[in-house]
Amino acid sequence: MTPMTPHHLRVFSAPTFSRRTAPVASIAADRWALGRIQHAVASARVRLVLWDGFDLPPAGGAPVATIVFKNRRALLASIWDPDLNLGEAYMFGAVEIYGDLVAALNEIYRALDRRTPRPWWLGQRSNDPRAARENVHRHYDLGNDFYRLWLDREMVYTCAYFPTPDDTLEAAQVAKMDLVCRKLALKPGDRVVEAGCGWGSLALFMARHYGVAVRAFNVSPEQIAFARNRAREESLSDRVEFVEDDYRNMRGEYDAFVSVGMLEHVGPADYGALGGLIARSLTAHGRGLLHFIGRSQPGALNPWIRKRIFPGAHIPTLPEVVEGVLEPGDFSALDVENLRLHYAATLDHWRRRFEGAAGEVAEMFDETFVRAWRLYLAGSQAAFTTGSMQLFQIVFARGSSNAIPWTRGT
C-alpha cells in the first residue's frame, strides 16, 4: 500500500494540544474547573485527576477508569467545549484515560442528558458532489491495508448482524448481507442499484448468492479499485458493475435500491433529492432498503467526530429519514429494525482487532492517529451500547405497490 501521508498530514498534523504534563501545582481555579466537569457527569463512575495528582473520586461506586488532565489548557478547553476538546485533548495525549476506555465512555454517555436537542444542522449546507467526494476521501481512502488490519475478511465497514452474540465477526457480516437480501426479497435476474458500496462486498454477495445484476456507486477510488479487482477474481464482472461516481448520477431502472451506511454522509438538505432519485430509479414494484446510523432524539453529531473522523456527516432520526427521503419519493415504510446492540458488538470486534494491530497502525501513520481512532471506535461502541446512537434498517416500497411481502417470514 501507499500510506496516505498527504491526507494524514493534513488531517492530523497540527497538534491542538500539548501532551506535556504541567510542572506547576494546580490552583483553586483549576480544582473548581475539575469540579464543574465532575458535576456535568455526576453519576459517571470515573476518577478525575489533575496534572499534579489532585483528584476527585466518583460520587458513588468504585471508578471504572481514571481521566487525567495533563495541563491547564486541556482542562480549560474541556470545560469550554467538551464535545470537541475532550476528543482533541485525548488524541494529542493531553488527556489520558487509564482503565477500561469503553466502560469509561459508557459511564459518561449515560451520565449526560441525551435529551438536550441541538438542531445545529438546520440550514446545514448541502454536501455537493465535490464536498461529498472530499469527505469520503478523507475517511475511506486511508488505505485498504489499514482497514484490512481490523475489518473482517469481506471488508465490510458497516454494522454486522449476529444471529447469536457469540457469532464471529466474519459470520455476522455474511449474516447481515443475507438479511439485507432477504428483506429486499431479491430474486434471480433482479436489477439492483447500490448507493455507496464500500469495498463491494454486498454487491458481490448479492450477485453470487441471489443471482442479481448489480450496479454499485462509490466515490472512493481506493475502494472502487479494490472492488473491481474482486469482481474480476470472482468472475462476477459481467454481473456487478462498480461505478466510480456520485450516487446522484445514477441512471436507469432497477428492481431494488439498497444503501448500507451511506445515508450518514448525505446531508439532510439532500434527503428530498435522494428520495426523488430513488423514486425515478425504481420500477413500479421495486423495493428499497436504507441501512444507517440514526438517533432517537434530533441532535448534532459529536463535533470531534465530525472534525477528525467523519467530516460532513449527519446522524438523523427515523422521522427525519421518513419525512425527508420516503415522503418526497411517495414511498411507504414497510419494515424498520433497530440493530443498535449489533453495532456495539461489531465495534467491539473492530476495536479489539484494531488494538491488536495498533503497532502496525502507528507505523503506517503515527501515535496520534492511533489515539484518535481508538477514541472513535471506543466512543462509537459506547454510543451504541448506551442508546445514544441507533442503527436502523428501513425497507420501503411505493405506496401504490401491493407486491410487498405478506409477512416477515415470506
Interface with a second copy, residue 407, by CB under 8 A: yes
Shortest separation between residue 319's beta carbon and a second copy, angstroms: 3
Considering only 60, 115, 116, 251, the residue that binds a second copy (CB under 8 A) is 115
* Sole binder of a second copy in the list 114, 208, 228, 239 (CB under 8 A): 114
The nearer residue to a second copy, 66 or 296, going by C-beta atoms, is 296
Q: How far is the CB of 258 from a second copy (least distance, A)?
A: 19
- The enclosing H or E element of 319 equals helix 318-321
Give the residue with the Cβ less far from a second copy, 231 or 339. Answer: 339
Shortest Å, Cβ 404 to a second copy: 7
| Total residues interacting with a second copy, rule: CB under 8 A | 45
Q: How far apart are CA 153 and CA 254, in angstroms?
A: 29
- Of 332, 374, 337, nearest to 356 by C-alpha is 374
Per CB under 8 A, contacts with a second copy among 366-405 are: 385-388, 390, 392, 398-402, 404
CB 325 within 8 A of CB 275: yes
C-beta of 378 vs 389, nearer to a second copy: 389
Q: Which residue from 316, 335, 320, 181 is spatially nearest to 258, judged by alpha carbons?
A: 181
List of residues 6+ apart from 2 with CB closer than 8 A: 143
Closest listed residue to residue 257, CA positions, set 292, 287, 218, 217: 287
Count of beta carbons in the 10 Å neighbourhood of residue 36: 12
User: What minimum distance in Å lies between the beta carbon of 359 and a second copy?
Assistant: 33
Interaction of residue 336 with a second copy, rule CB under 8 A: yes
- Contact string (CB under 8 A) for a second copy, positions 242-261, x = contact: --------------------
In the β-sheet with 65-69, what is the strand arrangement from edge to edge? 55-56, 46-49, 65-69, 95-99
Residue of 244, 264, 337, 348 interacting with a second copy (CB under 8 A):
337
- Beta strands (DSSP E) in 295-367 are 331-338
Q: Which of 67, 72, 62 is nearest to 17 (CA)?
A: 72
Binders of a second copy in range 150-209 (CB under 8 A): 161-165
Residue with cell 414494484: 285
Binding site for a second copy (CB under 8 A): 110, 114-115, 161-165, 296-298, 317-320, 322-323, 326-327, 330-338, 340-341, 385-388, 390, 392, 398-402, 404, 406-408
